[in-house]
A and B are shown apart, each in its own frame.
Chain A
Amino acid sequence: MTTCTGCSLLCEDIELVLKTGAISEAKNLCRKGQGHFQALFTERTKPMIDGKEVTLDQAIAKAAEILKNARTPLLYGWSNSTLEAQTVGINLAKKIGANIDDTSSFCEGLLMERILNGKIPTCTLDDVRNFADTSVFWGTDPSNSHPRHLSRFSYYPRGEKRQKSYEEERTCMVVDVRKSATAHLCSNYYFRVPPEGDAEFLESILTVLDGKIPKTGDKKRLIELGTILKKTEFGVIFPGQRMIYSMQDKMDLFEELVARLNEITTFKVIPMVGHYNMRGFNQLMLGQTGFINSVSFRGGAAGAATTHGPEQGVALAAKSSDAALIIGSDPLSALPFGTARALAHIPLIAIDPRRSLTTDAAQVVIPSALSGLEAGGTALRMDGTRISFEPITESERLSDEQILTRIMEAI
């Protein structure tokens, strides 16, 4: 049995039989996980400096040299690394006075910060399976992003208090700009919002909860939605990126909605985190710095966070850094043009199990083991549950933690 690190559900019930060059048998593995584990056999990275293959020792030494000589280094990625690797990474940032940030500054961070600071109530996915009668997927499509969410936790399982499950006891709702696969599944309760219209939709729900008629939107359907929310015994909202991008600086409204719902019944929130250990990085950072991401350790007392804010987020930090270490992430592919372009113009050190646009552009490439298959460790599921996993196959490749430790030692 192994754990899939393909998304933040961290499914622990995966049975795999590996043969040379292929997965010969797989049980409980979704299509996304199947793709994730295929990374074992395709386009693996090799140690490189300036496009030429070198020894691992040479690549690590060069990485240490670049970071040591950088005036404003940036350490970015982290959401696809274990807690153990993230801990070493934060220590590395403290040691060299670096800026450190993860993928959450571009996605769920805005909401995660409120969850971790206790401003928005949350629960575990096991609570969802056992008690939830209403799940609201808002700006997210778990059928494509977290394929086993509905089957393991939110819709189909017969939980402790939900033995009649989706047939009678669970309602699944989708609020989204697009009629996604999940929206098709619960089409009776699909609520379409226009682009950037989530805040207005949310205000309409607040109006309905106050017993008034909303000024905008389909009044009949909004009243129907309000009635279901009020009758819910244990509800959970799962916000995704499309909701967060749409809300932007109006997230206080969402906090207000959740507070209002909890005056009537019980409602919790679990952000639909994408990468398998984004939450882990956010919790570690909060514990050590008081901030979940986007922190600089430059110029202050040893180990003290000196500044935090958008300027320390990757989008701006990439433009003011003179070198960057990228771990388990492909920002040249995943981030906006301007940020990717800024990164492509500074010396990059890429630690990654597989080839990407970022490893192709990197001055130094350090191959790493694939978490969950070739390297063990610990991570936090999207709901904060700690999951530990052991490697199921031997590998000569070092784990992220081992690579970062060696870079630290060499600086």
Chain B
Amino acid sequence: MSVELKIVCFEDIFQYESGEKSRFSDEYRQFSAVILLDKQDMASLGVKDGDKVLVENEISKIVVAAKTSDDEPHAGLAFMINSVWSNQLLRDDLCNASVSGFKGITARVAPSQGEVTRIPEIVQRLRA
């Protein structure tokens, strides 16, 4: 089972503080590698809080933890904190106005048995 979702990014002060201390820490990963889903989308996927989901589009793919959004209802729309995890899914081709399609992510989300994608794996992909 998978669902196609629009993902919008947002800022979070606790994650920012954690990232200022270290972008390589477990704490920063736990804050950042999360997707906030509508209750209906959680049910469609058959996942509960903390379960891992694969988020994939034509750009890249990552595994993050699913969490029920407290800003409901927004079925079909998900939220991720600005971070290297969400940025893996971003297009960088330019529109006329020179700002990219930044933060308007469309991706397919499916349950995953994998572990949350870690920074070394992301760096490896960037260098590949």
By a beta-carbon cutoff of 8 Å, the part of chain A in contact with chain B is: 6, 30-32, 34-36, 38-39, 42-43, 105-107, 109-110, 141, 143-145, 147, 177-180, 195-196, 241-242, 244-246, 248-249, 251, 294, 309-310, 313, 315-316, 330, 332-341, 344-345, 355-357, 360-361
Contact = CB atoms under 8 A, between A and B. Distances in A.
Interface string B83-103: 110011111111111111111
A34 B103 CA distance: 27
Contacts of A336: 59, 87, 90-92, 100, 102
Interface stretch (B9-17, B46-54, B108-116): B9-17
B30 interface: no
Main secondary structure of the interface of A (DSSP, over half): helix
B87 A141 contact: no
A99 to B, nearest CB: 14
B92 A338 contact: yes
B1 interface: no
Contact of B102 (A180, A245, A340, A360): A245
Nearest to A338: B92
A147 to B, nearest CB: 6
Interface of B: 6, 8, 10-14, 16-24, 59-60, 71, 77, 79, 82-84, 87-104, 119, 122-123, 125-127
29 contacts: A32-B17, A34-B17, A35-B17, A36-B20, A38-B20, A39-B20, A42-B21, A110-B99, A144-B11, A145-B13, A178-B10, A241-B102, A242-B103, A244-B99, A245-B103, A246-B104, A248-B95, A249-B95, A249-B96, A249-B97, A309-B98, A315-B94, A336-B102, A337-B60, A338-B59, A344-B126, A356-B23, A357-B23, A357-B123
Contacts of B71: 178-179
A178 B12 CA distance: 13
A107 B9 CA distance: 13
Among B84, B100, B104, residue most surrounded by chain A Cβ atoms (within 10 Å): B100
Given A144-B11, A178-B10, A361 B99 contact: no
Given A35-B20, A310-B98, A180 B10 contact: yes
